[in-house]
Amino acid sequence: MTERLVAIADRTIMGEIQHDHRGRLAFFYDDHWRSLDAAYLLSLSMPLVVAKHGHARIEPWLWGLLPDNDFILARWFGVGSPGAAAGSCHLMKRAPLTTPGNELSIRRRHPRRAP
């Protein structure tokens, strides 16, 4: 069975992270998102011209969203060794960053304007 985590940006489905039965991850940009003039990248390492990005691209991105602190990860997820006990996609679904329904909300950062 494939697990899914939906990425929503600006109230629009940006794409979907899939976690297959082998533990491999992939990110798929939504076709509608890719067609928008205002569409932007999930990451610089995942250009819009490519619809599917594999495990080597999405897993480091997911780990980058989680705290780099084993104590916090253990407290959040109740595991002794987060990296060994569960994959990043599984942890993201349980992280405080996600919303009910396996959705990950992404907001585009706008540069600050000088006063």
CA dist 84 → 1, 54, 73 (Å): 21, 20, 12
As averages over each run of 10 residues, the pLDDT of the chain (115 residues) reads 78 88 89 94 94 93 80 70 51 52 56 50
Q: Cα(107)–Cα(74) distance, rounded to whole angstroms?
A: 27
The pair phi, psi for residue 5, each rounded to 5°, is: -130, 115
Task: State the pLDDT at residue 82.
Answer: 46
Annotate 59-113 with DSSP letters as a single string. Answer: HHHHHHHS-S-HHHHHHHH--SSHHHHS-HHHHHHHSTTEETTTEEEE-PPPPPP
Task: State the pLDDT at residue 87.
Answer: 58
Q: For residue 86, how far is the Cα from the chain centroid?
A: 15
